[in-house]
Amino acid sequence: MRAVVITRHGGPEVLQVQERPDPPVGPGEVRIAVKAAGINFADTLARTGLYPDAPKVPCVVGYEVAGEVESVGEGVESFQPGERVLGGTRFNGQAELVTVREDMVYKLPEQLSFEEGAAFPVNYATAQAGLVVMGGLKQGERVLIHAAAGGVGISATQIAKRIGAEVFGTASGSKHDAIRAQGVDHAIDYRTQDFVKEVRRLTGGEGIDVAFDALGPSSFRKDYQLLRQGGRLIMYGASEVQTGEKRNLPAALRTLAKSPFSSLPWWKGLGVMNENKGVFGLNMLSWWDAEGGLDRVIEPLISGLQEGQLRPVVAAALPFDQAPDAHRFIAERRNVGKVVLVP
């Protein structure tokens, strides 16, 4: 089979399409003929060497795919060869074939393309875990979603609107029409506006109930200041650690230095109790390990996917041979929605 291989740590040019052995199929497993594979920010970090949980190079990454069942292992009864499916893959997804546990495979609704299917598992699971399970977002509450034009940002917006929340979203001005179309009520240009001042202006100084942020310590602290009584901050990434196509060690070190003081500096312990605020950290790989799967955050979303309330947005679908261009597309922040690879 062909696969996109991170041959060494570095820029997008280190990605190469290589021949690799077909993965075996064991009991309770499903082998999927991949038609589309999602790219996540963690994949770009793995390429640059900034993702400690990634396999050692050379390796194949990728957390999610959509395709057709190619074969099934002993004991598998839920799926048959030829069925359209999507699934979560603990690496190895960016290949023509991938083997997945049966409980990590879901039927792909007929109205969705393979590219849309590959844009669903990680983004929507992250948004559901952060906003609903941890953040407890409710109808009528206000939520601030950073990077609202990205794959997770769009997923979070759709989930928040399905709940009935009022959505504040940050994105560059050129993407405002796109994020409004997804349900953002108040679009904020992070490049030309101070999002703290703008949120306070829009809310009459009251602030928000939930902040959903993967940017990093610089914005975490500001998010926390915007929370009103009972507010919750969900931190699920730190994109500050990487700027451009290659590893930026100074940026990573600055981010690490800021982290201890980003949301809960040591002198704020008692203040948190008095302010009735909460701070949550979310790492979907750790969640996956602890839960043994993603059912708790995927299952509640399946009906919304089938009914069209949730619809993944694909920014670009590029062939495996253009994987370096796909990573550059993400690094340049040109995407509105998910970038996927197709064999």
**CA dihedral angle for residue 126, residue 127, residue 132, residue 134, rounded to 10 degrees:** 50
9 close to 57: Cβ distance less than 8 angstroms = yes
pTM for the model stands at 0.91
The reply to whether 152 falls in a domain is: yes
**Residue 275's pLDDT is what?**
85
- Asked if 106 and 151 sit in the same domain, the reply is no
Identify the pLDDT of residue 216: 84
Mean pLDDT across 59-64:
97
CATH of the domain at 110: 3.90.180.10
CATH of the domain at 178: 3.40.50.720
CB atoms within 10 A of CB 295: 13
Tell me, yes or no, whether 58 and 107 share the same domain.
yes
Q: Is the pLDDT of residue 229 over 80?
A: yes
Task: Answer yes or no: is 303 within a domain.
Answer: no
Q: What tens digit of pLDDT does each residue of 27-55 get?
A: 999 999 999 999 999 999 999 998 988 99
Phi, psi at residue 137, to the nearest 5°? Answer: -60, 135
Spatial contact of 195 and 170, defined as CB atoms under 8 Å apart: yes
User: Comparing 41-50, 167-176, 253-262, which segment has the lowest mean pLDDT?
Assistant: 253-262
Question: Do 11 and 102 fall into the same domain?
Answer: yes
In a domain, 148, yes or no: yes
Q: What are phi and psi of 119, to 5 degrees?
A: -90, 0
The mean pLDDT of 170-198, rounded to a whole number, is: 97
- The residues with which 64 forms a beta bridge, in sequence order, are 88
Asked if residue 154 and residue 19 are part of one domain, the reply reads no
- Predicted confidence (pLDDT) at residue 248 exceeds the cutoff of 80: no
What pLDDT does residue 213 have? 97
The pLDDT of 317-342, averaged and rounded, is 96
Q: What is the mean pLDDT of the chain?
A: 92
**To the nearest whole percent, how much of the chain has pLDDT over 90?**
85
Q: Does the residue 301 lie in any domain?
A: no
User: What's the whole-number mean pLDDT along residues 142-161?
Assistant: 98
Domain extent for 127: 123-285
Region 263-279: what's the mean pLDDT? Answer: 70
Say what the pLDDT of residue 267 is: 47
Task: Examine the domain organization and report whether 264 and 166 are in the same domain.
Answer: yes
- What span, in angstroms and rounded, lies between the C-alpha atoms of 46 and 241? 12
**Domain co-membership, 140 together with 18:** no
- Say yes or no: 143 and 272 in one domain: yes
Same domain, 319 and 218: no
The answer to whether the bond into 58 is cis (omega within 30° of 0) is yes
- In this prediction, residue 274 carries a pLDDT of 81
- For position 263, what pLDDT does the model report? 54
The per-residue pLDDT for 254 is 54
The answer on pLDDT for 99 being more than 50 is yes
Determine the pLDDT at residue 261: 54
pLDDT at 125: 97
Report d(CA 100, CA 31) in Å as an integer: 6
- Answer whether residue 307 is part of any domain: no
